Copies of this chain bind each other. A is one copy, B any other.
Amino acid sequence: MLYNFMNDYNECAHERILEAIAQANRDQDDSYGLDRRCANARMLIQARLGAKSDVHFLVGGTQANLTIIAASIQPYQGVVCAECGHINVHETGAIEATGHKVLPLPTEHGKISAAQIAQYVAAHYADATAEHMVQPGMVYLSQPTEVGTVYKKCELEAISSVCKQYDMPLYIDGARLGNSFAAEGADVFLPELAQFASAFSIGGTKMGALFGEALVINDPAIKKDFRYHMKQRGGMLAKGRLLGIQFETLFKDGLYDEIGRHAVLQAQRIAAGVQAKGYALFVASPSNQVFPILPRGVLQTLAMGFGYAFWQTYDEQNDVVRFCTSWATPPQMVDALLQRIPNKI
């Protein structure tokens, strides 16, 4: 195979990250995230946020999600999210394993709206038997969403306002966050997230790190004793400095943004290329995922040279597939991919 566009964690890490780890290798430091490197990474992120949010570093996304959600709501509360939300479909019931129901809302392009949430929550409280039902206690969004779409500032503001009205923390899963910053027309950056979200994650794994998610907590109520939650859920890395070093590197000289720009540029080249050849996109995604509708025959040929993810059957001749780019995607591989796709007949 020439190149695998299956996902954005096919390679290990950006070389600057590996170098930083190697350089610090023999430094003795404190453990469990109480070290100097985590402290420094925390300050760099806070500077970008323009806020004194708490910043914790966890290894993976499922862990970050389950820990923050379990820390934020009461046993009888659930978390509202898009039907396709990662916590609803791809985490093997990790949220339910902490005792909480996921409350999915329908969505066409991966987003849910303030109006949808408001209607759902209002209906709950209007029901005379509300206490026989799971109380919506939190809202979960992904930025970008599972299909690469990106919330605008006005959308987030409206959702945040509904959340405040009903006293529901708003959590934003930013596993691919840097790619949303690089999306065309983006108007939600770290300061907006600090303003509108109760908590959010800054994904490292899919943004060039070996692993790691920074969990930013803005809401004082959720800040309390959060490290106990982390330890209990198995989310406290002994050599926590590894996370500190990586996020330091990502946020020191703009590497995080650089990685997002590269990934999105390559993805959008694919999007433009397949459209130029006459194919439609299943969903218009401005970030690092591309969902073209391609004939099965074309896909079979492609598969010999390139990896991609099957997304869903489109019709009798065509499938929707996903190409995913990252910090590591060589531009020439995008060229090669596009060359291999024939013009639509």
Q: A-side interface residues toward B, CB under 8 Å?
A: 1, 3-4, 7, 9-13, 15, 18, 21-22, 24-29, 31-32, 59-63, 66-67, 70-71, 74-76, 78, 89-94, 96-102, 129, 131-135, 205-206, 210-211, 225, 227-229, 231-239, 241-242, 307, 328
Identify 28 residue pairs between A and B in the complex whose beta-carbon atoms are under 8 Å apart, listed by A's number: A3-B28, A7-B31, A12-B24, A12-B25, A12-B27, A15-B25, A18-B21, A26-B328, A32-B132, A59-B59, A59-B211, A66-B234, A70-B75, A71-B74, A75-B229, A75-B232, A76-B229, A91-B132, A91-B231, A92-B135, A94-B233, A97-B232, A97-B233, A99-B99, A101-B101, A135-B228, A206-B238, A233-B234
Contacts of A63 in B (CB 8 A): 234-235
- Give CA–CA (A232, B334) in the complex, Å: 35
* Chain B CB within 10 A, most for which of A4, A99, A132: A132
- Give CA–CA (A233, B205) in the complex, Å: 18
CB-based contact B101/A99 at 8 Å = no
CB-based contact A225/B74 at 8 Å = yes
CB-based contact A239/B9 at 8 Å = yes
Determine which of B27, B70, B91, B210 lies in contact with A242 in the assembled complex, contact meaning CB atoms within 8 Å.
B210
Give A96 Cβ to nearest chain B Cβ, in Å: 4
Contacts of A328 in B (CB 8 A): 26
Interface of A is mostly: loop
Given A22-B18, A89-B133, A62:B99 Cβ within 8 A: no
Given A133-B89, A228-B131, A12:B18 Cβ within 8 A: no
Give A227 Cβ to nearest chain B Cβ, in Å: 5
Give A63 Cβ to nearest chain B Cβ, in Å: 3
CB-based contact B234/A60 at 8 Å = yes
Contacts of A232 in B (CB 8 A): 75-76, 91-94, 97
- Give CA–CA (A74, B233) in the complex, Å: 13
Determine which of B22, B26, B76, B234 lies in contact with A234 in the assembled complex, contact meaning CB atoms within 8 Å.
B234
| Given A12-B25, A76-B225, A97-B99, 7 extra CB contacts under 8 A | A9-B238, A10-B31, A12-B21, A75-B97, A92-B134, A99-B99, A234-B234
CB-based contact A239/B29 at 8 Å = no
Give A225 Cβ to nearest chain B Cβ, in Å: 7
Determine which of B90, B97, B132, B307 lies in contact with A92 in the assembled complex, contact meaning CB atoms within 8 Å.
B132
CB-based contact B76/A93 at 8 Å = yes
Give A313 Cβ to nearest chain B Cβ, in Å: 12
Determine which of B25, B60, B89, B231 lies in contact with A13 in the assembled complex, contact meaning CB atoms within 8 Å.
B25
